[in-house]
A and B are shown apart, each in its own frame.
Chain A
Amino acid sequence: LGNGFSFSRRDALKFIGGLAVGAIASPLPWKLLDDVSIWTQNEGWAPTLPRGPVTTIRTHCPLCPAGCGIKVSMVAGSPFAITGAAGHPSSGGKLCALGLCGHHLIRHPSRLTRALLRERGGTVERSLPAMLGAKTLGSWIRQAARSGSVIAVVDTRPERSLSHLYRSLLSGLPSSSYVALEGERIPVEYVLERTDGVAARAYADLARAANIVSFGAPLLEGWGSVGALSSLMTRRDRGGPYLTQVEPRPSATARGADKWLQPRPGTESLAAMAIGRAVLDGLGERAGGAVPGGDGAAPEPGGLRLAFADVDVAAAAAACGLSPDSISEAARRFLAAPSVAIPGIAPGCGQAPAGLEAAVMALNAVAGRIGAIGGIGLAKPLAPPPGLPGSDVRTLRRFDELADGSVGLLIIDDTGAQNLPTAAEIARKLDRDRTARVVLMSAFRDEVLVPWDLLLPVEGPYEAVEEILSSADSPGARYGLSVPLSSTAPTNPSRAGALAAAFSAADPGRAFGAASLPREVSGLIEGRVGAIFEAGEGVIVKPGESAPKAVREAGSAKELLTLLKDGAIWLDDAAVDAAEVRGSLPAACAAVLEKAAITVAPPTPHKTRGAPTRVSLEPFGIRALTACAALPPAMSKLTAESDLLPDSRVAFMNPETGRAVGVGDNDVAELVVDGKPTNVIAVWDAGVLPEVVHVSARADRRACTIMGKGAAR
C-alpha cells in the first residue's frame, strides 16, 4: 500500500456492490433456490420405492368372469404391475383398465376388517369381530328357518365350487332358494328345455360369427372377455363381422356399430320379435314352428311359430319407432351369413329383462342358430366338485323369480359386483312383516345398492385361490385358478368359512346337515382338478409355451393342480349336439314372450313435475367401473381425469322410473346428489333397472333424488 495503491472505504463499497451485482447476474442464487426447493420437497413427502429382486408370477384375473390370463411383477413380496399374459387362449395378452390396476385392491382404503351390524331400521352401526358377525348371521338363519320364511343366497359368480357349497348348505333348510346371477349370459333355457346345468352350457360363438346382432350388449365396451373385444376389433378392421346394435341408448357400441337401430325405450324385445318374424317369413315353411336343429330336421311342433304368429312386422316396427325396412334388412343379414343375436344391457345394469332375453333367444332359435357354427354354441359343462352331497335347493336364474315379500333372510355374495340387485329390487322381495334381514358378504364397504343389516367381511380379490370358469363367450368348458398375490395372510375369513361358521352356529342340533360339509373350498378345488385329470378330456394351455398338451401329460392330479396354480388353463371344446337338447318352446318362455309383446303398447302419458323421488345413482359407461365393489385409486384416471365417461348432463332411467317420478324421455330433470342440484337430460332406457338412475358424473354409487322439470327439446 506504500507504492501508491490505496484502498479507500469507497473502493470497499464499490467492491461489495460489484460482488452483489455479479452474484445476482450469476446462476448461483437461482441454482441455490432451485436446489433448496428440491431438497425440501424430497424430504419425507416422496414415497420410498420398494426394493428387492423382481420376480414374476402367472395367474388369472379374478375380477370378472372373463378371467383373463395375467403376468404379475412382484418386488419385496408385493405386486407392482399386472400385464396380460401373452398367448393366453381367452385373453390373448390383453387386459381391461380395471385388471391393469387390480393389485391395488389388496390395499384398498375401504377394505373391511370387522363386521358391521345395523340395528333394524336405523343407521347406527356397531363394529364387531368377523366371526362374531358370522354367529349373528347364524342366529338369523335359525330365526328365519323357524318362522318358515325363505332364506335365499344370491351368488353373483355361479358354478364355482363355492357356489355348489352354497347349494349344499341350503339344501338342509326347509324353504330356501339359491339365486345364480350371471351378468353376461346366454339364456338358452328359454328355448331349449334340457339345458339346466347338466346337458349343455350355451355361449356366443362370436369368433366365428359373420353377423352379430346385439340387443344392448356393450360389445365394443367389453362384453365378454377382453380377448374377444380385441379379436372383434381386429376382424372389423379387416371388414368383418357386421355388427348391428339395437339399443335406445347412444352408447359407444351403438355409435361404433356398422348399423345402429335405435328403438323406443322398452321396445327392444319387440324389435327382436319383429326381426324373428321377418326371419321366419324369409325361411318360409321350412322353419315350420319348430326349433331347427343342426341336422335340418323339423322336430317337435309348437312354440316358436305360435310365439311369432301374432307379430306383424310393420306394426311392430312402428311401435318400436323403427322403419320396416331396417327390420327386414336385419333379418336378411341374419339369414345370409353365420349370425348370432345376443341380449345384454349396459354395464352395471344387472340382468337384461326376461322378455328381451326370451325374444332374442327365440330369434336365434327360429333362425336355426342354436348349436350352429357362429351362432349360439352348446358346450359340455364342467361337472360339480366331487364329494359334495346333491342339493335339492330351488335354483333361480333371475332375481325377480323370487316371490315378492317372501324372503326372510337374504345373503348376498358380491364377488360379481356388476350383477348385484338394487335396493329397490331387494326391498320388494323382503318379507317386512317378519324380521327380514339382508346380509352382504364383501371385502369392501358398499352400502348404497345393497341396504345391508349385516356387512360380513370376507377375503377380497387376490387373497385366496379362486376358480376361473367359462364366460359367455368362451367356446366350451374351461377351468383355471387365480392365486393370492400378497405374501401376508388375509385378515378376513373366506366366504365359505364365514358361511359355514354361520350355518354351524344356526344348527347346534345338526338338523340341517351343515356340520358334515367342508368349511373351505380348497379341498373341493383339489377334487375338481382330480376329476378333470381322471376324465382325461381336453387340453392344458400354459401361456408362453408353444403347444397345448393333453391333460394326462401333466402326470398326476397334483401336478395338474400345480400347473393351474402356475397360470395354465384347462380347455375342453367338447360340443353338445343341439339335437340332443332340442325341445319345444317351454311354456315359461311363451309366457315371457307374450308379456314382451304387451310392451308394444305406446308409452303411457306420464305426470309432469313430480315430487322429488329417491333413487339410486349408478356409475356407468365403462364396464370396468362396475366389475368390483371398490375401484382401485388409479381408476381415477378414467373417472375424474379424462374425457372418457359419457356426457354427465344425461341421466338414463327405465321408462317405468320416468313415469313414476314424472320425467319424460328427453325431459330436463333436477338431480340432487349430496344436496347439490344438477340439471340433467333424462333419457329413457329399458336396460336400466327400475328406481335406478345412470349418470356418469360420479364414480361411486350413492343415493340421490330426481324430479322432473319439463320438456327439454
Chain B
Amino acid sequence: MRLLRPGAITEIVGRSSSGRTSLFTACLGEATAAGGVAALVDADETFDPASAARAGVDLARLLWVRCAGRRDAALRATDLLVRCPGFALVGLDLGEAAPPLPPAAAFRLKFAVERTGAALVIVGRRRVAGAGASLVVETVRAGLEWEGPGLVPTRLARLVAGVRVLRARAGAPAAGAAPVSFCA
C-alpha cells in the first residue's frame, strides 16, 4: 500500500502501541532514502531520533520542529512547511489528544499541498482532517512476539499490526486489514 501521495493528505490513525508511528517513520525513511527532504512537526516532542535512524530515516534530510505541546503552533508550522515547495514529505504528529481540525484549516492544508506537491502525513489517535484527507488508514495491533532462549522471554521480537483503509478518494476502501510487522 502506498501511503506517500504527493499533493495529498494522508492520515494514519490508531491506538497507542498499534504501530502507527512506526508506519509513519517508515514513510519518512522512504522519502529521505530517495534523496528527498522531509519535515516533521512534532506537537508533543515524542520523536526519537535513534529509533528513526534505525528505521532508515536520513536525519540530515529531516527538519524536526518541536512544538512543546502547542497544537496551534504545530498547525501553523505545518501550514508554513506545506507552502514551501521542495519538501517531499511533511509529517504532523498530533499525538494522543488531537482535536479535529476546523474544515477551513483542513482544506487550506489540502489546497496548499496540491499546489506544492508535498505529501502531508498526519499521525494521531483519531482522524482530524475529515474530508480534506485523500487517504486514511488505521493501524490495529494484531499481536506481539517475544523471544528468549528459555521459557521466559528476554527480548521483544516484533509487533504485528494490521493496516486498514478507512477512506480512500481513489477507489473504494479495501475490505480487511493488510498485515505489517515491525521488528524491534
Chain A partners chain B: no
